[in-house]
Amino acid sequence: METTEKVLQGLIELSRRLGDESKEFVILGEGNTSAKISDSEFFVKASGCRLGSLASDQVVRVNSALAMKMLDDPELSNIEMRERLKYAMTDKTAKLLPSVETLFHAYLLTLPNVNFVAHTHPVSLNSILCAQGWKDAAKGRLFPDEIICCGASSVYLEYADPGVPLARAMRAEVEQYIRIHGVRPKAILMQNHGLVALGSTAKEVESITAMWDKTAKILMGTFHFGGPNFLTDAAVDRIAGRPDEDQRRRLIEGRE
């Protein structure tokens, strides 16, 4: 287990790279990131802060159990949500509150080998997620590196109100995905909202985000030439399961 200071530094560096506005993943105070400290605590970006210039005092430490408890409690009003998030903070002297999307971060960080989570709003990908027919347009796999970075499939989540409704809908869809595929997802695409990337390392999360940006750009380009030519399920499964791709995957994910 890495030290708390190293986890925090890794989260800040990831956030700043994703928040570089020239990449068009987020602008202003959009997006949020998190990192697992231990089974009982995690860091999450404070509400309204910019990812691109995130500082250590703009990251909030949260009690995992208290955050998860909100997922199963009766529906919370906005005021109740604010108070419960404040109560879940480990450092009661902190001046900033956790992101309203803290709950889905809390859940995703309980999944196997998930230590970092990043939620962004890439312009390229949202051009698809905000369109009619978004799910059919984004559901296939186009090229091998997309599969290596982002997995054989993703979670496709219909629009839900940020906060408790979104976190509950996400948990339900992720659990359904795990039942079907036998593994956790690497990415969640949210209708009219954006992307969530989850991984064991900050580098993996960054790679997933960058690859979805590339995929979205290629996908939009295909519609100038008759539409996407998705790989067959057999081809996707073959690439996803190739043992000779494991070293490349580990390097991409920062595990070597």
The string of pLDDT tens digits covering residues 4-23 is 999 999 999 999 999 999 99
Q: Which tokens in the block code for residue 235?
A: 């081809």
Inform me whether the pLDDT recorded for 242 exceeds 90: no
Residue ranges of E strands in 93-138: 116-120
Options 3.40.30.10, 3.40.50.300, 3.30.70.270, 3.40.225.10; CATH for 4-252 is: 3.40.225.10
Nearest to 216 by CA among 35, 16, 25: 25
Q: Please, what's the largest Cα pairwise distance for the chain?
A: 57
Per the CB < 8 A criterion, the answer to whether 165 and 93 are in contact is no
| Mean predicted lDDT score pLDDT of the chain | 93
The string of pLDDT tens digits covering residues 150-181 is 999 999 999 999 888 999 999 999 999 999 99
Confidence (pLDDT) at 183: 95
Q: How confident is the model at residue 243 (pLDDT cuts 50, 70, 90)?
A: confident
Radius of gyration from C-alpha coordinates of the chain = 18
Inform me whether the pLDDT recorded for 1 exceeds 70: no
Domains in the chain: boundaries: 4-252
pTM of the model: 0.94
Alpha-carbon gap, residue 187 to 149, rounded angstroms: 10
Inform me whether the pLDDT recorded for 129 exceeds 70: yes
